[in-house]
Amino acid sequence: MDWQTPEDTVPSAFITEANARSILGKPPATGAWREGDPAGNRQFVSLGPMALERGGELPSVHVAYETFGTLDTARSNAILIVHALTGDSHVSGGPGPGHPTAGWWSGLVGPGKAIDTDTWFVVAPNMLGGCQGTTGPSSTAPDGNQWASRFPFVTIRDQVAVQLALTDALGIDRWAAVVGGSMGGMQSLEWAVGYPERLDRVAVLAAPAISNADQIATNSVQLEAVRMDPSFAEGNYYDAADGDGPHRGLALARRMALLNYRSPTELNDRFERSWQSGLSPLGGGGRYAVESYLDYHGNKFTRRFDANTYITLVEAMNSHDVGRGRGGTAAALSRVTAKALILGIDSDRLFPVPEQEFIAAHTPGNIDGTRPHVITSPFGHDGFLIEDHLVGAQVTRLLQT
């Protein structure tokens, strides 16, 4: 699922110079949040140096996060929500300064909703390597320049290690639940396997236990699309003039990804062979509507994301394997002690249901026995973001166990 464009959602009083350029059709070189931009609802914590799984360390890690609700005196009502590849900490709420788009899960998180912030205290961090305030390629390195392509390789486990450090910094001993979908589902599963003593419940939504060769191959083509853009300049584009960033490559990668995020049924039913102009497709001079749809989302994406970040996070997804160094995936899953919701989507072609069936069959605390809960949706993988009622009912069920 994607967000609305900034020009559709941001009141004129909140339009930054960068957004104004976007509205005029010329996006900045990067859509990353930069130091000096409005903080919005973000809070920040510095965690110091962080060692990385594959060697080396980041000399300093800063985490941007948002909170919703109130932490109780026993610190027992905290829920960690971890976002997907192109999400961020703005889980719920409207657009405003620092947040050009509305929260990506506003239908599930808030007063009276599935994750009821009148009951629960929600913490939503931007992940390590992201581009919305947590240390990543667009952040300033010790030499005063952006990390850019020098940013080190990070894994899902590195990202969860940073979330664990944030947990300690917030004084939370144990999460009531860790909830995530897609890439966030990889992280929530890593939490349950790697730190079983630190959470009571876990929701793994539309995610696998391991990134397989087919998924890695698909990702590799997207990354090559970014790198082949001449304006990518080997990752050193942050000081480029507006309009000179690697927008074409990043937009193409997004269009490729969107084909896996949505189901063929949805695209066929929605667009069929409709033609956008009055000209015949046999005569040329126009475009199929589905082509324009992909272009729209690809071009919109460049206004809120960063090319180096996309590479960093996709490579982190490729690293995902809960069984690495733990005797294999089945052995790793047997370590889970949290009550677990494993949710799949019947039309998901990115992480299809057999992926969740494997997790469910080997996770002792699965609240559905040895099977995942599978929702029926025409929206494919993006169903975990779109189907608020179906997904929300299952998350509520988990929180009530």
Say if CB 16 and CB 313 are below 8 A apart. no
Distances (CA, A) of 241 to 33, 147, 306: 17, 19, 15
CA–CA separation, 9 and 37 (whole Å): 18
CA–CA separation, 236 and 27 (whole Å): 17
Say if CB 129 and CB 293 are below 8 A apart. no
Question: Which residue bears the tokens 């931009």?
Answer: 37
Say if CB 27 and CB 303 are below 8 A apart. yes
Q: How is residue 384 written in tokens?
A: 């975990």
Q: How is residue 342 written in tokens?
A: 């494993």
Catalytic member of 200, 306, 321, 348: 348
Say if CB 79 and CB 179 are below 8 A apart. yes
Say if CB 179 and CB 124 are below 8 A apart. no
Local structure of residue 195 (DSSP, 8 states): -
Catalytic member of 139, 182, 263, 319: 182
214 is catalytic: no
Question: Which residue bears the tokens 């992480």?
Answer: 351
Q: Kindly provide the residue ranges of all beta strands, DSSP E only, lying in 258-379, ordered along the sequence.
A: 339-345, 373-375
Catalytic member of 22, 320, 381, 382: 381
Q: Kindly provide the residue ranges of all beta strands, DSSP E only, lying in 52-197, ordered along the sequence.
A: 57-68, 78-82, 109-110, 115-116, 121-125, 177-181
CA–CA separation, 335 and 337 (whole Å): 6
Q: How is residue 249 written in tokens?
A: 């490559």
CA–CA separation, 338 and 197 (whole Å): 8
Q: What are residue 374's DSSP bridge partners? A: 344
The vertex-378 CA angle with 375 and 383, nearest 5°, equals 55
Helices 307-318/213-228 angle, 10° precision: 160
Please report the sign of the dihedral spanned by the C-alpha atoms of residue 144, residue 146, residue 147, residue 148.
negative
182 is catalytic: yes
Catalytic positions are 182, 348, 381
